[in-house]
Amino acid sequence: MNVEVYLMEAFSDNFFHIPELRNQAEVFRDREHAGEVLSKMLKQYKNSDTVVFAIPGGGVPVGSAAAKNLQIPLDVAVVSKITLPWNTEAGYGAVAFDGTVRINRNIVSRTGLSENEVEKGIEKTLNKVKKRVMKFRKVKSPIQVERRAVILVDDGIASGFTMLVAVESLKNYGADEIIVAVPTGHWNAIKHIVPKVESVCCANLRSGWAFAVADAYMNWSDVTEDEVIQILKKF
């Protein structure tokens, strides 16, 4: 499969995907391959002053491969979802590296969470984010983004809530332009992100009731903090 022969197609002036990959499963060997595909879609940023910011953990191997091919710097945008007390896979909000907190009040209402539970969830997640930032900054100094374009990368977008919080945080940091780039994403989430940034690139656009980011990959596993650190050290 030669990604260079693929043509991107725009749904709007600032959204691009690869039509041959639409609604397909297992289109990437792994996250590194996905990053290589994204770099083809982002080739206009090669050797530019642009910075890739990857969301740990799964976004880091994707962002690393993309940044390496584009020959531009790599940094991390630490963002973590606030999870339900009884289900650590389901989130009702997110916390970013600059302290930005956003809560999905619709989910809070539907699940019957009390304000005390929400506050505890926020505090726990803030502490988690602070610890991860400190851990990653031991091997990677922050890159200034004022008056620079930023490519914000994750390994996929399901709900889009975490990505939107990351976008807000980078805007707070002074990013001049934000390009969201993901290997795979659900259209219902993507369409909410498109108006918030300069452009969105999603190689494998999908829709339908059942969606899992992992389905886009032949080889999938969680990316640990130690693996993120090793990638940052090598880059």
Here the tokens at position 105 are 């009040």
Residues 175 and 92 in one domain: no
The pLDDT score that the predictor gives to residue 147 is 87
Task: Please identify, among 113, 135, 157, the residue that sits at the C-terminal boundary of a domain.
Answer: 135
Give me the helices (H) in the chain, please.
31-41, 59-70, 105-111, 115-137, 161-172, 187-193, 225-234
Distance CA 40, CA 46 (A): 10
Q: Per-residue pLDDT tens, the chain, 235 aa: give them.
A: 444 445 567 777 899 999 999 999 999 999 999 999 999 999 999 999 999 999 999 999 999 999 999 999 999 999 999 988 888 777 899 999 999 999 999 899 998 999 999 999 999 999 999 999 999 999 988 899 998 999 999 999 998 999 999 999 999 999 999 999 999 999 999 999 999 999 999 999 999 888 999 999 999 999 999 999 999 998 8
- Same domain for 166 and 50, yes or no, is yes
Answer whether residue 10 is part of any domain. Answer: no
Euclidean distance between CA atoms 150 and 53, whole angstroms: 7
8 in a domain, yes or no?
no
pTM of the model as a whole: 0.93
Same domain, 89 and 152: no
pLDDT of residue 7: 59
Structural domain boundaries, residue 113: 81-135
Please indicate, yes or no, whether residues 195 and 166 belong to a single structural domain of this protein.
yes
Do 62 and 147 belong together in one domain? Answer: yes
For the chain, the domain total comes to 2
| 168 inside domain | yes
pLDDT at position 235: 81
To the nearest 5 percent, what fractions of the chain are helix, strand and coil?
Answer: 40, 25, 30
Residues 32 and 65 both lie in one domain = yes
Residue 67 included in any domain: yes
Indicate whether 185 and 85 sit together in one domain.
no
What per-residue confidence (pLDDT) applies to 218? 97
* 103 phi and psi angles, rounded to 5 deg: -115, 135
62 & 159 share domain: yes
Q: What is the pLDDT of residue 102?
A: 92
CA-closest candidate to residue 153, choices 213, 212, 75: 75
Q: Is residue 202 part of a domain?
A: yes
* Same domain as 172, residue 65: yes
Identify the domain boundary among 70, 100, 135. 135
pLDDT at 224: 95
Q: Are residues 159 and 214 in the same domain?
A: yes
Q: Are 199 and 158 found together in one domain?
A: yes
Residue 3 falls inside a structural domain: no
pLDDT at 87: 83
Q: What's the CATH number where 41 sits? A: 3.40.50.2020
Pair (220, 148) in one structural domain: yes
